[in-house]
Structures are given as structure tokens and as C-alpha cells.
Structure 1
């Protein structure tokens, strides 16, 4: 820098400009020699940590970092956790963090013990931090699995029952409509699950499954009926839109005012208490004025007395009193926790039909719901909840109206003798029902219990194992027992608000428990103690033995954590979303809407999952990727349901899931009867003459006696054929797969139709030592290998060319541009370099466009074209697997998936032909390799997208 040109006017530039020029020149010198600070770091240094905090640089590199502009970069200082977790700001911080994703009331408890995911607008527990797969499955078999399903959205419809049924008839199937007319369902004694569709599009246009619960008829309804619809959050908006279209709903003004009130309430709770401070200052000023006025009245007005000084003294006295007392404004913690919920009922969004006859209320996030699955669910509920007793308040003196209005809600509710008798009958039914572990499925038991926090044990209570002398209740006794009254305060919105808003703080309960003389004993029940109304719904078990039965519990808002902790302390094993999805395959619980292939939620979720799998696949280096072109896999990340239906039935425009229970039961009986044989009276020479297995098919039950050669029971498949005539072959059937031998199924695995040679090789191997599963897909030619090599070479050439041109542009600016010539133009060398680089990019627009499209073209070169024919493998594809793993209930690899209806009929035709040709005297190999008698189970071949190997699997239809 000492050799600067003489024409440089140091006086004009000033000292600041000279220092800037020196820094620029030194930076250019460093750039010419390629001295990068972060490239010279020692190996043990973390570049990411150094880039976040330059103070972590070694001392011999700090000066160079400062010369290159590091002095202007300041590390971001986040407040310490001590200040972020202040109790005065903690609740407001929680409310602020729920703007995008709503938290469940048990979120804090789950966040400490679970991996959390964010889906459908909620922050949900995914899976425990410990290994919870075996524990959750063991709990459903032996103890109790506990799940918080409060994300389920509730929609309330109110209006004449005839009008409600007429409107719902357009969005449900006719069979479900006939079930809704059942007397027990309309009285509210039993919930019912129905599938909702787009109006008048059944069986197409499915939306999702909903659980409907009718309210019991009460006097306040005045001839109207109410029904609750529980839907999954992934389809909540779609259900609201469909109901709005069917009933012509319009959002009322009260709902909009409620939204404004809710927003103002949230802001008032989250904001600081500036108004309280202003109010305190006014009170201090008023107290000072009162003291001056009192002095004037007592001593008269004296000119020598300084009134201003007297006021100052009064203020100083008041300030000293305030400092000594330090009053703390009581916080309404319960109100702050439910600030973002639609409570009270005025804030609930409401819709009214054009005739003002039917009303819809969106009770989303105003009710908590907990799911208990397992044989010990009744024991967990019994230990956590205790029925409340009706204790009347003592009449001491004449009370004012204000005091009477502040009394608890249950004193007014149970003032009538009819309400008391109903409560006593419900408590009696509770004691009788929970003395037996298996109530009738679909039982609805309303109840009012004590505050669960009062009876919370000090430590977790182990569950007692079920004994063999448990009482067994017959169906007649259950029917007689199920006549208890169904009226409950939880159905009334005003009482729900009172229950939520009048909840005592946890500090009050803990203080009362602390004052007990005997630690661990229960508090006595008083008239002032809080009461909690709730609903218990008995779930029906799945067709898997000893699995799926349990209870659902519905609790008002604000009481989620108060009920959750007693359930956990009572022995419940908590589970998350992954545990719920595993139960779909293990015990065949009903699938949610986002896992169905014919719903919009299923399309969205499958697309999101496919993008995630595709991103994870291309994050791997090329040497660690499977070549799906050689494997012959066209869709490795998703299941092409529409392409599958169009391949088996050309011209299919849309798909739907086969949900007819009678037809599914008949198909399952044909497929899943291992002890039956199928006989064909007329054999077709050509396969495409009939799409059905046979015209006269009979299932013959093999008796124990050998002489019983004739059929003892037969099912005419002609009736099944007549039912199938009216169906479209674009339907999908839910199936379960059990691998016959080793192996595990993966998602997107293909379900393939075995050839005749495959069955012969399995039943009659050429050599005793030959492998039964020695079936593999021949490698396909890699038609895009040259394209990938060409793209890689072209990309490297473009990259090197652009690097050379950019380097020349920088060098041209640094060598040919005079530093002092940039001073009048007020330009820096960085700006001149940026303009030169921009010019290089403008001159190479075509090349840069080719360079930017390299990633997409290279990814497509790793995959097969989606418009190619689907049946590109040696075995025809019948369907795809959606969820597969090692099943602990079966002890082998298993999975669930969907197959096309026409493909299923083709499989049954192959099984019938195989059974007729083999005969009863011929045998096949069992799972352990031993030769056994004739086996009529439908067997298919499965292949994972990452393997050439085909594996035998047993196929069964799920109802």
C-alpha cells in the first residue's frame, strides 16, 4: 500500500476511505493466492461452529478473518434459557408457539417422553423415546394401551331428526342409513361408524370414516335432535364443506363475533399487564389527594403549608407501603391454558341452514378424548375415576343472589330429584358393569366423577393380573343392565363451559393434599369439590382374538392433563402415532382416512410420503442406490392405484374401496378356508371367456369321517357372481399377507400372480435339496446407463467452464481496473466484480439453464418412465403392500395391502384350476418343508422393490 499512485489525493479521500481501500487491496491479495480462512482450519475444528462464532478461530487466523470483513459479522446471541423459561412468561410463550400447530393438553407430558411430529395442524406424539413397539403390542394383549386422540374433531348437528336423516342420506351408503334408524342408536345408547362420501357419488368419492353418537332426548331440546360426528383432522375441512353443501349452511354473525372475542381474549392474556400498572398508579394518586383533603378538613387551610410537599410525602408513604406489601396479582392459569380454544360456547363457530331449521357447531378442540385398548382397560379406569356423591350444601343463613350465582354448577343441576335418581342409577350401573371386564360392545355409559387430582395416588400402581374367576355376564343380563339413563351434563354446552372455567387450580389441590395428617390418604369429598362429567364408550374388538377391545373416554376441555395422569398412574402404557399404525396391521383396527387409497386425504398423504422416500433415496451416493431399472420396478416410492385398476380393466376412470360387508364375507370365506376344497363342474378352456372363477363353485367342508365324501355344507358362488355383476372392476380389496417362509415385506412391495410352473415347482420340487423359494426376477436391461454417464460428463464440463469464466472475470477486474478510478463513481471492487459475474451469467444463459436442470434429469435417469406399461415383470402385478414388517402376533413377516377386484378373481380362478388338477391324493410342502395333504389357501408371490427375489405368501381378505 505504500506504492499507491501519486494522484491519490489523501486529503480529499480522508482517513476512513484510505482504510477501506487498504482492506479491499489486502482482501484481493488474499483472494489471488487462494488463502481461505475456513479452508486453513485444523482438522479438529468444526467449520459449522466456527462460522457461527468467529471467536472460536485460532488466534493466528483471527487477524486474517477480520481483514476479510469478519469484523462486521456479529454472532447472534440468543437469551439464556434462564430468561426464556421465566414463570411469568412461560404460559404466554406456550400460547405463542401454538400459532401454527395446536398443542394437545398433554403436549408437555408427551414432549418429554416422545418424539413429536407435526401433522394436520397438530403437534402429536409419534413414538416413545424408548423402544415401544413390543411394549405397546404387549399392552393390548395383557394390560392396557393408552392413547391421547384429542385431535379427533367433533361436529354437532342440531335439528329435526327427519331433516337430519334426509340430509345425511345423500352422503352415506343405504346400508348405513338403515342402521341409523335403529332405536338404540337414535336413543344414544350405541355409537355407529359410517363412511362419508361426496353427495350422491356412492361408492365413489369417499371422504372418511366418522363416528356418530346421538344425544339422548331431553326437555331442553324441544323436539329437536342432536348428533355428534367425530372425524379425523385430515378430513375435517372436507366434511364441513360437504355438510355445508348438503344442508345449505351459512356462517352466523355470532360466530364471527366469537372469533373477534377469542382473538381479543388471546391478545389480552398474552400481553403484559400495563393496564394493571396504570390502575395502581391512579390509586396511588387518589390516595395522596384524599390525604391532603383530610388534612385540610382537620386543620384548615394554612398558607404556610406546602400542599405539593404534602402530596409528595403521601405518595412516598404509599410507595413504601407498596414496596413492603408487594402485592401479586393472582393469575388465572386455567384460563391462560385454554386461551386458544373455542371456550366459552359463544366463541364456537356456528352455521345455520337457509330455513334456520338445522344448526351446525364446530366443537373442535373443545373436547378431550382418550383411547384405552386392552383387557385391563376397565381396571385402569376404575383406579383412576371414582363416581361422585351428591352432597348438598348446608343452609346456614339467607344467601344473597350473588352468592347463589357463584355456587358450583352441580348444586343447581342436582337440585331436582329426577337428576339425583339418574345419577344414582348410573353409579349403580358403573359398579355392576366394571365388575366384569368385557361389556357389550358399543356401550355408552355417562358418569359424573370426583376431581381426578384429588384421588391421584402418590406413585404408579401396578396392574393386577386378571384372574380366572372373573364374572361372566350373559347377553340377557347385559341387555337388562343396559337400561340405565343416558342424560349427562356433558351434553349441555353451558355446563361444559362451567366445568372448564370453574376448575380449581392445581396449587389449591396440592395445598389441600399437603395438609393431610396421614400422607397418601384421600381427601374427604365435600360439596365444594369439583365434579367432572364424562362419557365412556365401549369399543368393539376386531376379529383378531383377544385384541382391540377397550374404552374411549370423552372429557370437557381443560381437564385433559388432570385425567391423563391418573390413567398413567393406574397402569396405562402410553403410545403414539406409530403404535396406532402398527395396530392396523397387528390386530386389524380400522384404517384412518389418510391410509385409504380412494380418499383425498389418502392421495395427499401418499404423495407426501412418496416425496419423502424419493428425497431419502437420492440423498444416498450413487454406489448405495438400488437400480430400479434393472430391478424392473416402476413405482418404488408409491402405489399406483389408478394405473393398477386401468391395467386390469381398461377405461376405468376412478377407483373405490369395496366395503360391502356381505360380499367381503363371502369372498373371505372362499379364500380363507384351509379345510375346504373347491370343486369345478365346468372348466373353461380360455381364460378370458369368464372373469369369475367358475359358474358353479361349491365350498365343501371336509368332515372328520373319511367316508363323508359328499359335501356337508355348500355356498353357491352364483349369488356372489350376481352381486359382482353390478360392481365396477375398478374397486380395491383390502388383504393381509403372511409370508410362508423367511423374509420381511417392505412398503410398496408388489403382490404378483404366480405361474403354473411356480406352483408345480413348489408342490413337486425336482430335487429334495432344491429351494422352494428359488424364484427370482430376471435382470432388466439398464436402458438409461448411457444417459446418466452423458449427463454426468456434460455437467462436469459446464461446471468447469463456468468456473474458468468466473475466475477470468474476477482476475480481469482485479488487474485491469484502477482502484482510484472507482472513487468518483462511488463503486467498490466487490460491486465491480459482481457486475462482471452477472455479465458472465447473461452471456451463458443457455448453458446455465442446462446446468440447473441437471438434478431433475439425473433423478429421472435413475427411474423407469411412469407412462410405461405397468405389467413389465415376468409375473403379473395384482396389488401393492402399504405397510409391512415382522409381525409379533404371527412370528413371521406380514403386511397389509390392496389388490384389484378383477385381479383377485383371476387369482381365485388360478387357485380353483390348481385344486382341480392336483386332486386330493396329491400333496404339497408345508411351511417347515414336510409334505402334507391338499392345501387350498390362496398363495401369491411378493417381491420387495429392492430385490429380485419372489417370496410365497398366504393371502387373506380383511373385513
Structure 2
């Protein structure tokens, strides 16, 4: 063949000088073709500027792995360098560091370091590791807590509360210790509480220390407004010769409002923190004495005190947070002392009739004394409800590890108690509630002398001749002091099943949490989490956090934000149109606007509170029972009344459901449905026009067109730059985040009604039936076998309900039939009948 450089026009056949060959050499042709094939294959495998695939995407399908985009070593060796180059250009650096081996990570030193690192943001309880392997964990109130079991245990936990024993770790409750003269404590708490809500902190029945009390705390002199939360308290028992000394009080606070309560206590008792001290310096040439705070601060900083500091007259030393385990406060006269005992105790809650059997099997007395015999006899009763309500018993038991069975066993009852229930109620030992846990020195000694589980197992291996047999060294193990607190459960049989939710609370020293937890679970107690706390309260017809408390406000706001985010994550054709459903606030109850609309005078609705006055609640309940008008002094314009609702017909109720007043036509329709046994809704809300529907469509269309125009502009800019550029040109970033955010806010305002906090339209007349309350907690209740809910209504709404009730078919009002109202879910148009009754134990739920 002629080369490509020769371009003669004629060959030898037509008189030229070039002679064409008569044959082609095969190996020359094959070599050239092979080179062309190699070039073609290389071009296919290499990523050029016009290709949109990455290296790991060019592999055969059976070799592709999703992890290849992050781990280059999963690719063939010849492609790794090109893959790293591509990832670095895109801003994603491949993971090159190899994860340490499990053997290295599980070393005790490294494992402890990892646990400390993971506790920087959220505190752990002593049972955290056990729960983390079996429960869904959530971040709440600065703690990492167990929410619910990974298994399906909802019904099993309910059965445990009614027939067996439910175990929960509530060690996240914070404890405050207050010491001072009784009169000063009485005067201080009188400004934070009210006698209308029940017995106070300094009531005579609690001062002896034999009973635990609970009280509702408010902001200073703001009752009934400014509710903080309900707290439990107990007094340290005192002997007769100690009457002139100071009293000691423990307050157990929920962590959601603990800081607010601490600030109120500091303000009322005029306390100051003791971690700042004013220390006068000595004269020059003399050695200065260092306080504990100075020693700790110098130990952390590692620096010597400079000579310039000795020339100052005064100096302030501040203790660092790393040593601030127990914040301490006191007043100027040093008569009132407040100490935060956070993480000083473990508190476990046992709920159910078999709670006493579990405690009896798990706690063996260390010495048989009078109070130990009393405790053993009390735990042998069939139910905790047979004892004095909120009874406090203290005892010392052997190490819980010595009472642990070989396998999980259900605790059975033992012999009958030596003391009758009457003797247990009347003849109590004088030192029954006294415990070493009240002493700081005793708690420190217990924490420092506890035998670790590793040491215990090693000693068992050395001294145990027969597996499972007791060893001699076990008798020398220190005793564990515990405090047992009885919980009576439901006390009103008309409102909820008697004694439901009864049980015991166990307070144990720090360090024994895991040992005691394992022993209780091995004896048949079913563990639960935060979900079970709410479910037990819901089954009892109560609510843990009322809507006017700090925890209630925080919980409602978090739930509303979560529901709102989930609502706008759905496509537009899957969202409920609340404007057509005539629902003003679907995600949170607008209490202030509701009270504003029901007020007799045009009030602004700046505040609200839950009515806790027991006498006034009884008067309102009596007026409703007799179907007569409420007195004028009971029509509080800013008060919400808690009620429990039971759905009469089929259907379901959700949170934030509307509680509405029925009309005369609704009552007539109900009688017609009763005759036909009709379970249909009593009425259906007519669809309302959505005036913003066309505006939303136009806004969405204009937004899309605007984004398209902006992208077209960026594409034109890129093409103009490519004409002059000598290297690859990238499209300019969109920079439309602010436009998308503004579009979302504008669309949200068109989809949902205005913000309830700035709501100007009527909440009372938002639909065809007048709204006089909202549901805050609703679910199917196993104790009632019905759909039950907890809601709050206005007093003026109850007044109108009683006045507008129709007579029955016989022409007289039925006093036996309970009052009824209408319920409607925020995403439904159906109204259904529900009966309700007022909760008289709002101030003392008994849980």
C-alpha cells in the first residue's frame, strides 16, 4: 500500500510512475487493525470531557457496588488513582483511613474514652448501655433516654401494669436538697404554691418524713398564672431531740422545668452561688492559704500563681464546671442551703400489682431489724394499694448481685405477712423512713467502696467451689441502702378503675443502678421507656404535663413543628386542605384565642391557666350533674377545665381535635340514629371555599418560570465563556436559596391559616359548630375498651352547653345520662358524639 504522504494522481496503468502491489501483507494489516481496536477500547474506558460517567460507573453491572463511590479499595487496582482524582475534583475526598479493629475499640481504656466522647452533648443514665442495645433512644432534656423497646411490647407493657410489673428508669428526675429553719421554708414556699391546690410542702402529714407529697409550683406570687410543674418532695425524719435544728427537704423535679424552678428558689430565698468566694490576701512574705477552688483551678491550668496577684487586695476564684458536681447555694445569713444532687441517685419506677413480689424477691434485708421486718411484711401484701398512700420506707439490703436468679424467673408470692394490714397502717416503726442516703458522707463512702462487677466475678471464680453456691467473701460486701416509696394509683373509682397505676419507686445510691436494674428484670419486671410513662398516664385518664406548664408548652411546640414539617413534605395533592375543612389551627391548640372569643369582655387573651381549685371543680361538676347554670364566680375568663372524653360511637380521635357544642338538630338526629342503630356521624361539616387556591397555582407557575429564566441566563453565560475559554467551563451556581425559602413561606401562608399566636379570626366560630375546647391527648384505652381522650374546655362553653341541652323524648331532662359534646378531627369533616366528665384530681393525679 502507498503511504498517506504520496499523493500521485496516476499510477502505472495509466502511464504514471507508481506501481500498485498485486497482494496485501496479512500481518501488517492485522497489526494496524489491532492498534485501532486498542485505541477504541481505551477511548471507551477513559472518561473524557464529553462523558458523564464516573470510573466506578463504567464497570460491568455485576462488579458495581454503591460503596465504591466512597471506598476506592473496592475498585480494581488499575482504576483507583483515576477514581480518587475524580472524587477530589467534585469536592468529595474518598475515605482512606482504615477503621480500627474491633479488638482495639473494645479495649477498656478506648471504650471508656469513646463513651466519654459520646456524652459531651447528652448525659447518660447508668442503665444506658443496657437500653441502647434493646430500645430506641431519643434526646430529651439534655439526656439520652430510652423511648420504646425495639420489640412490639405496647400491649405487653399494658398487661404488665394491670397484672404483672412494669419497670422504668426515671433517674433523669433531678433532686434538690434544701436545708433551713422550718418557718423560713414555710414562708418561702407559700409564695410559690397555693393552698387551693391541695396540701402544701410544710403540711403536718409530710413533716414526719413517712409520706411523700406532691405540690404544684408557680412563679413567685403569680398563682393561678405562671405554672411551672408538679414536683414531688419528702422530708428527712427527725428525732425528738432534734426539734431545734434545721429541716432537710428533697425536691424531685422533671428536667424540663428544673432550671426555672431553681431560679425561682434562688430568688425567693435570696440565695447566692458558693462557687465564687471572696478571699482576702495575706501580707507579702507570708504563705497564703489556698481554698479548694484554688487548688482545683490550679490543678486544671497547671500554672503557678504570679507574683503580681499578691499585690491585689482582693481576688475572686471561680470553680470550673468540671468540678462543679454539686452546685451549692446559700443566703447571706447562712441559714438556707440549697444543693443540687443531680446524678446522685438512681430512681426506678415499678408499676403493677406484682411490683411488691418483684421487690420482695430482689431485696433481701442485710440485718433483720424492726424496720426490716416491717418492710418485708409490707411487701408480702397482694397489692401496693393496701398500704398507706405515698408511704416512705427505708431499709438496707444485700448487694443486688447476690439476689439475682440464674435465669429470668417470675417472682411468686411467699408466706402470708406476720402483720395484718391494720397493723401495717397503724403500727409503724419510728425510724422507718430514716436512711443513710440523706448523708453526703455516707453517699460518698458507698460510691467509693462498691465492688466492681469484674472484681466480683474474679472472686467468684477463685472462691466458688460449687457453681451458684454462696461464697464467704460475699458476706463482707457492703450493704445497699434503698428508699421505697408507695404510689397509690387512681383514687376515684367513678373517674378511672380504682388503684390503676399503683406501684413503688425505688431510690438507690449512685453506682448500683445497673446491678439493681438487672436483678429486677431477672425477677420478671418488664422494662419500659418514655412511651410507657405517657401510656400509663393516658390509661389513668390524666396528663403528665399540663398545657400551661413549661413542659407542656415545650411539648406542644415541638409536636406542632414536627406535624407542620411532615405536612409540607407531602405533595400538594396529598395534603389536607384545612381551609376547606374550616380548621383554623390544625397542629396546635390556640388556647389564648379560644379564651378571647369566649370572654364576656373583649380581652386580648394574653394568658391562660388550667383550673386546679378542687372546691371550684367540684362545684362545676355538681352544676353539670344537676343541669343548672354555673354561678358567675365560676366563669373564669382565663381558665381551662380539664375533662376526660369517651367516644360513644365508632370512630377515632386524634390530638388537636375540636370539642364543639351540639345544636338542637344534632340532638334530634341522635335519637333517630339510636332507633335505627345507626353508627354514622351525627353531621358532616360542609366544604368551605378556598379563596387562595387559584393564587397558589399562579404563584407556583410564576415561581417555576422564574427559576427557568434564571437557569437559561446561567446557561447563556456559560456558552459565552466557552467560546473564549481554553479550559473547561462550569455553570455558575444557582444562588436561588433565598427565592425558594421565600416561596415556601408564602405558599405556607396560603396553604395554612395564619399563625395562631397572631390569629385575628374567630376560633370559636371557625366551623358550623361552635368550638369551646381542644383535645390534647387521645388514643384507644384498654382499661375502658373505648377511644378516650383528655381535653380542655372553657367555663363559658360549659355554661352554654348546659343551657342549650335539649330534653329527651319524654320531655324531661335526663340526670342519669352524662353530658355529651361533639368531636371532630382536624383532618376530618365528621362530627361524633362523646361523653365527658370533669377531672377533679388535676392538682394531685396520684401517679
Report matched runs for 1:267-666 at 5 Å. Answer: 347-389=325-367, 424-436=369-381, 437=383, 438-464=386-412, 473-475=420-422, 478-481=425-428, 483-514=430-461, 515-523=463-471, 528-542=476-490, 543=492, 544-588=497-541, 591-592=543-544, 595-649=545-599, 650-651=602-603, 652-666=605-619
SS of the residue 2:257 aligns to: helix
Deviation at 1:216, TM superposition (A): 1.2
Distance in 2 separating the partners of 1:222 and 1:44 = 85
State the match for 1:112 in structure 2.
133
Q: Confirm or deny that 1:947 pairs with 2:840.
A: no
Q: Which runs of 5+ in 2 are unaligned?
A: 1-43, 279-290, 303-319, 842-847
Distance in 2 separating the partners of 1:54 and 1:668 = 73
State the match for 1:743 in structure 2.
651
Q: Confirm or deny that 1:799 pairs with 2:707.
A: yes
| More helix as a share of residues | 1
Distance in 1 separating the partners of 2:64 and 2:820 = 56
Distance in 2 separating the partners of 1:518 and 1:766 = 72
Deviation at 1:474, TM superposition (A): 4.9
SS of the residue 1:382 aligns to: helix
Distance in 2 separating the partners of 1:112 and 1:905 = 53
Distance in 1 separating the partners of 2:164 and 2:775 = 30
- Confirm or deny: 8 A CA contact 2:377 2:418 kept in the other structure: no
Distance in 2 separating the partners of 1:875 and 1:264 = 70
With over 3 angstroms needed to count, the CA separation of the structure-2 counterparts of 1:759 and 1:604, relative to structure 1, is same
Q: Confirm or deny that 1:724 pairs with 2:634.
A: yes
Distance in 1 separating the partners of 2:699 and 2:58 = 33
Distance in 2 separating the partners of 1:535 and 1:265 = 37
SS of the residue 2:560 aligns to: helix
SS of the residue 1:209 aligns to: strand
State the match for 2:794 in structure 1.
900
Deviations 1:840-885 (A, max 9, x none): 96xxxxx875444112222222212342321210011121111212
With over 3 angstroms needed to count, the CA separation of the structure-2 counterparts of 1:765 and 1:116, relative to structure 1, is closer
State the match for 1:876 in structure 2.
770
Between 1:51-60 and 1:881-890, the stretch displaced more is 51-60
Distance in 1 separating the partners of 2:58 and 2:664 = 67
Deviations 1:745-800 (A, max 9, x none): 11111111111110111013498375552411111112221122112211211221
Q: Normalized against structure 1, the TM-score is what?
A: 0.72
Report matched runs for 1:686-835 at 5 Å. Answer: 693-694=628-629, 721=631, 724=634, 728-765=636-673, 768=676, 772-818=680-726
Distance in 2 separating the partners of 1:130 and 1:138 = 15
State the match for 1:251 in structure 2.
273
With over 3 angstroms needed to count, the CA separation of the structure-2 counterparts of 1:869 and 1:176, relative to structure 1, is closer
SS of the residue 1:517 aligns to: coil
Deviation at 1:31, TM superposition (A): 5.7
Deviations 1:463-504 (A, max 9, x none): 33799x889945565122364443221111100110111101
Distance in 1 separating the partners of 2:72 and 2:297 = 43
Distance in 2 separating the partners of 1:246 and 1:522 = 54
Deviation at 1:526, TM superposition (A): 6.2
Report matched runs for 1:70-89 at 5 Å. Answer: 70=88, 73-77=93-97, 78-89=99-110
SS of the residue 1:602 aligns to: helix
SS of the residue 1:447 aligns to: strand
- Confirm or deny: 8 A CA contact 1:736 1:956 kept in the other structure: yes
Distance in 1 separating the partners of 2:767 and 2:379 = 57
State the match for 1:327 in structure 2.
none
With over 3 angstroms needed to count, the CA separation of the structure-2 counterparts of 1:640 and 1:199, relative to structure 1, is same
Q: Confirm or deny that 1:889 pairs with 2:783.
A: yes
- Confirm or deny: 8 A CA contact 1:429 1:484 kept in the other structure: no
Distance in 1 separating the partners of 2:49 and 2:561 = 41
- Confirm or deny: 8 A CA contact 2:197 2:613 kept in the other structure: no
Report matched runs for 1:142-153 at 5 Å. Answer: 142-153=163-174
Distance in 1 separating the partners of 2:766 and 2:418 = 59
Deviations 1:60-102 (A, max 9, x none): 9979756746578322534344432222211222122111100
Distance in 2 separating the partners of 1:31 and 1:886 = 62
Distance in 2 separating the partners of 1:342 and 1:33 = 57
Between 1:900-909 and 1:145-154, the stretch displaced more is 900-909
State the match for 1:862 in structure 2.
751
Distance in 1 separating the partners of 2:293 and 2:66 = 45
With over 3 angstroms needed to count, the CA separation of the structure-2 counterparts of 1:770 and 1:74, relative to structure 1, is closer
CA RMSD of aligned residues (A): 3.5
SS of the residue 2:555 aligns to: helix
With over 3 angstroms needed to count, the CA separation of the structure-2 counterparts of 1:472 and 1:640, relative to structure 1, is farther
Deviation at 1:547, TM superposition (A): 0.8
SS of the residue 2:256 aligns to: helix
Q: Normalized against structure 2, the TM-score is what?
A: 0.81
With over 3 angstroms needed to count, the CA separation of the structure-2 counterparts of 1:46 and 1:250, relative to structure 1, is farther
- Confirm or deny: 8 A CA contact 2:193 2:200 kept in the other structure: no
Distance in 2 separating the partners of 1:264 and 1:462 = 54
Deviations 1:265-306 (A, max 9, x none): 9999xxxxxxxxxxxxxxxxxxxxxxxxxxxxxxxxxxxxxx
Deviations 1:348-367 (A, max 9, x none): 11001122210100011111
With over 3 angstroms needed to count, the CA separation of the structure-2 counterparts of 1:908 and 1:354, relative to structure 1, is farther
- Confirm or deny: 8 A CA contact 2:374 2:424 kept in the other structure: no
Distance in 1 separating the partners of 2:62 and 2:653 = 43
Distance in 2 separating the partners of 1:376 and 1:739 = 32
SS of the residue 1:638 aligns to: coil
Q: Confirm or deny that 1:237 pairs with 2:259.
A: yes
- Confirm or deny: 8 A CA contact 2:360 2:379 kept in the other structure: yes
With over 3 angstroms needed to count, the CA separation of the structure-2 counterparts of 1:893 and 1:771, relative to structure 1, is closer
How many residues align? The count is 747
Distance in 2 separating the partners of 1:63 and 1:608 = 48
Distance in 2 separating the partners of 1:100 and 1:229 = 25
Between 1:103-112 and 1:49-58, the stretch displaced more is 49-58
Deviation at 1:605, TM superposition (A): 2.2
With over 3 angstroms needed to count, the CA separation of the structure-2 counterparts of 1:97 and 1:260, relative to structure 1, is farther
- Confirm or deny: 8 A CA contact 2:634 2:795 kept in the other structure: no
